[in-house]
Structure 1
Amino acid sequence: MPRAKQRTPELRDRILHAAVAMLAAEGVSGFTTRKIAQQAETSIPAVYELFGDKAGLVREVFFEGFRHLRARFDELTDTDDPRADLIRIFGVLRSFVRENPILAEVMFSRPFTDFDPRPTELRANRSVREYIVGHVRRCVDVGLIAGDETDIAHVLLALAQGLAAQETAGWLGTSNASRDRRWALAFQAVLDGLTTP
């Protein structure tokens, strides 16, 4: 009698963690189903059975990245200073990108040619987006900035992604002090520009 296949949630999690670790260690070029199966101590057919194909595995890595980022945001506690809270959110995003540059690349830059996020994947970041929009809304509600909270959230996220990409590439400065100063300057300039007249 053939042995029953063990396609358990635990195996699925093990493969997903192996995929994230493989991205971190070897980048996009080293991300192969064979290596991930070996790392997870399973077979290539098991990976395909659980995720469909390589694109399905990348899709789950995409989701996992946003789950990790949202978990980091959930560790923050709001204060009575909405502007400082908003800036702190982007500090967490900065740390996340520095610690997980390849995962952030999958989330924000789509480096895999065989993965084109569908509307369901694009909604994966909804929780993160709503969290940021909600904190922008706090600033708007108390009159610290003026404008549409969704538009402002998009601008701030694009600013953070650009700064993070520059920092990851080593183009934002040679010292922690210079990099910190440039992050602070960018957010101060944008938020000051949005201040209610």
Structure 2
Amino acid sequence: MSPKPRATDVKDRLVEAAIRLLDDGGPESLQARKLAAEVGVSTMAVYTHFGGMAALVDEVVRTGFRKLSAALAEVGESDDPVADVFSLARTYRHTVAEQPQLFAVTFGQIAPGGKRATLSDLTTEAGREAANEGLEAFDHIVRATERAIEAGRFRPTDKYQAAAQLWSALHGFVTLEASGHFGPGEQGIDHILIPLGITLSVGLGDTVERAGRSAEAARAAWRAKTRNARQGGND
């Protein structure tokens, strides 16, 4: 007789199955019956381990933010904080584009079965204290913004509000691109995202020339990263 799976194993498998269903079929596919069939358990397992679909959606949201934060953490820090802002933007865009349905749920843009995650205002101290999701991912943008302010590239300002402006523009681009408004492939990155980043950097206190050089540095770093990834996959 095979051993009975641990509760944590079943919970993890349900979350993984929920993300697969989202990726393959969108929010309409996220149903207790389909989840149970995907994992090979009864529908009661969803309620036993989560209390209902709403709590499961919340866990999917947390998983999405953890995935995003892990990807942004890989960017690291260079001696050019504005280039790091551009690198974070590219990584953010790439991560969200890989699993658009997951991140539409993560950011509350869609609500499977009417179950939308409740998020906090990360630009306020009270909101950050109450936040369960998103704070760690947002902090990567905040840290790069803070370093740009300290380096004199951005004018002295509230780092959270400045980072939220960058995040708003970035996520707006990602959302519109996912809807097909900027054409196929990645052409919107060069035509829209990078010029947008330069414009915002200048608005926050940088010069056009320095922001442009930082954008080019980030572009070169991204190309080297993707080239190394391809070569590593061929080893």
TM-score by length of 1: 0.90
SS class of match (1:42): coil
The residue aligned with 2:48 is 49
What is the distance in 2 between the residues matched to 1:8 and 1:175?
Answer: 42
The residue aligned with 1:158 is 168
What is the distance in 2 between the residues matched to 1:193 and 1:95?
Answer: 25
How far 1:5 moved relative to its partner? 6.8
What is the distance in 1 between the residues matched to 2:84 and 2:48?
Answer: 43
Mapping of residues 12-27 of structure 1, within 5 Å = 12-27=11-26
What is the number of residues matched between the two proteins?
194
SS class of match (2:165): helix
The residue aligned with 1:148 is 158
The residue aligned with 2:115 is 114
- Of the structure 1 ranges 114-123 and 132-141, higher mean CA displacement relative to structure 2 is found in 114-123
The residue aligned with 1:133 is 142
* Alpha carbons 1:173, 1:179 under 8 Å: kept: no
What is the distance in 1 between the residues matched to 2:63 and 2:206?
Answer: 38
What is the distance in 2 between the residues matched to 1:121 and 1:36?
Answer: 30
TM-score by length of 2: 0.76
What is the distance in 2 between the residues matched to 1:121 and 1:167?
Answer: 31
Assess, with a 3 A threshold, how the Cα gap between structure 1 residues 8 and 95 changes in structure 2: closer, same or farther. same
Mapping of residues 63-142 of structure 1, within 5 Å = 63-112=62-111, 113-117=114-118, 122-142=131-151
SS class of match (1:140): helix
Unaligned runs of 5+ in 2: 121-128, 208-235
Which residue type is aligned with residue 159 of structure 1? A
Unaligned runs of 5+ in 1: none
Q: CA RMSD in A?
A: 2.1
**Residue of 178, 196, 199 corresponding to 1:168:** 178
What is the distance in 1 between the residues matched to 2:130 and 2:104?
Answer: 15
How far 1:6 moved relative to its partner? 4.4
Assess, with a 3 A threshold, how the Cα gap between structure 1 residues 163 and 196 changes in structure 2: closer, same or farther. closer
